[in-house]
Every structure is written in structure tokens, then in C-alpha cells.
Amino acid sequence: MNAEPEQASPHDDSRRTFLKQSSVLTAMALVPSPVVTAAAAELDEKVAAAFEKIPLSLKVNGTKHKLQVEPRTTLLDLLREQLHLTGTKKGCDYGQCGACTVHVDGQRVNSCLSFAVMHDGQEITTIEGLAKGDDLHPMQEAFVKHDGFQCGYCTPGQIMSAVACVREGHAGSEGEIREYMSGNICRCGAYSNIVAAIQDVKQGGQKV
């Protein structure tokens, strides 16, 4: 899938068919054998229904998508695996690290702890949606300026959370920033520089 050209639209029929087939195959491969056995013996309608894909409309970074998803697909997996927006990271996958932070209708959330189907009709912003063309978002610029990262893995989540932190009005002091950024863990320990970046943006008064 990585070999596909960047320009290929996720709406593209051949891609959608391919994704549909490949995710069904993946699902089949993951079904524990007792369930498959039960399904074969009883034609359990619940198991059959669970395989059905559900239509889903989402606006992601300003682009509308009409998708078909398995109910158990998380918003994070949808963004990464179906829409190929891999900026949003899978860290712990249990809501403990914040690497998967995105904005849903303007509010920051952990995309790993939410099923994509629950977001029908909503607007998602990921790290890819912050910059305007080649112009970085002020928070992205500040993270570069203040060295707000080392390995960079938590950075997309940190930046999405930082933008929300300022928008919410929770960047009034170092203490408040640290409290309201506590849902984003950085194993490299770039916290001081992350706080400095957020303070810079807040004090700069730029629109975020």
C-alpha cells in the first residue's frame, strides 16, 4: 500500500475495493477459531453483522470523505490505515500517552479510544491539517524554534494538544500548561522545551 502514489485519492474505487478486501482478509485472520466455528455451525447473525461495513461520512482536514468501516476500527486506525494520514501516531493505543491526539469538532481527543463509526458527520483535524501549504502553524514553528522534541514520535500529539491548550485558555502559566499538557507523555523528556514553545505562542498572541 505504501507504494501507491501520494496523489491517489482515498475515494478512488480501486483503492477502496482493495482496502475493503484487504481489511476483510485481515479481519478473517484475526477472528479466533471458536468464533469462526460457531459462525459456521449456527450462522450466527451477530458475527455476520459484525463483518458488515458501515457507511461513514467524515471531513478530515477540510476534505470530505465517504467511507465504509468495520465497527471496530478506531478513529486512529481509520486515519492511519485507510486515509494514510500517518502523522497521527499510535503510541500506547490505550489512551495513556496522547500520541494519537487529534481534534474532533475542534476538541482534542485520544483517537485510539474511539470507534470511527461514532464520528459520522464530524470534522477531524490531524497534524497534517495544521499548516497552510508551506507555512507552518505557529505552534509547529515554536516547537522547531524551542527544540520541543528529540525522537519526534510524540510530537504530532503534543502539537495538537498544545494548540488546543492555548485555544482553551489553559496556557496562562507554566504550571497551568504542565497540568493541561499532562495527557501527552514524552519519553525523551522534552517537557521544558515543549512548555517554552507553548508559552512563546501564547505570549506572541498569534491566532492559533
| Interface positions with other proteins (CB under 8 A) | 27, 31, 35, 46-47, 49-51, 54, 71-72, 74, 93-95, 98, 101, 107-110, 112-115, 117-118, 120, 161, 164-165, 168, 170, 178-180, 182-184
**Cβ distance to other proteins smaller for residue 15 or 35:** 35
- Contacts of residue 49, defined as CB under 8 A and 6 or more positions apart, other chains included, come to none
Cell digits for 128?
Answer: 497534517
**Cβ distance to other proteins smaller for residue 63 or 96:** 96
| Look-up of cell digits 477540510 | 62
**Cβ distance to other proteins smaller for residue 15 or 170:** 170
| Look-up of cell digits 482534542 | 108
- Rounded least distance, CB 28 to other proteins, Å: 10
CB of 153 closer than 8 Å to CB of 88:
no
| Look-up of cell digits 485558555 | 169
* H or E stretch at 109: strand 107-110
- Rounded least distance, CB 8 to other proteins, Å: 28
- Rounded least distance, CB 110 to other proteins, Å: 5
CB of 168 closer than 8 Å to CB of 180:
yes
**Cβ distance to other proteins smaller for residue 83 or 165:** 165
**Cβ distance to other proteins smaller for residue 22 or 182:** 182
The dihedral through the CA atoms of 83, 100, 176, 106 has a sign that is: positive
What span, in angstroms and rounded, lies between the C-alpha atoms of 187 and 12? 38
92: helix, strand or coil: coil
**Cβ distance to other proteins smaller for residue 15 or 39:** 39
- Rounded least distance, CB 52 to other proteins, Å: 8
- Rounded least distance, CB 164 to other proteins, Å: 7
- Return the amino acid letter for 1: M
- Rounded least distance, CB 158 to other proteins, Å: 12
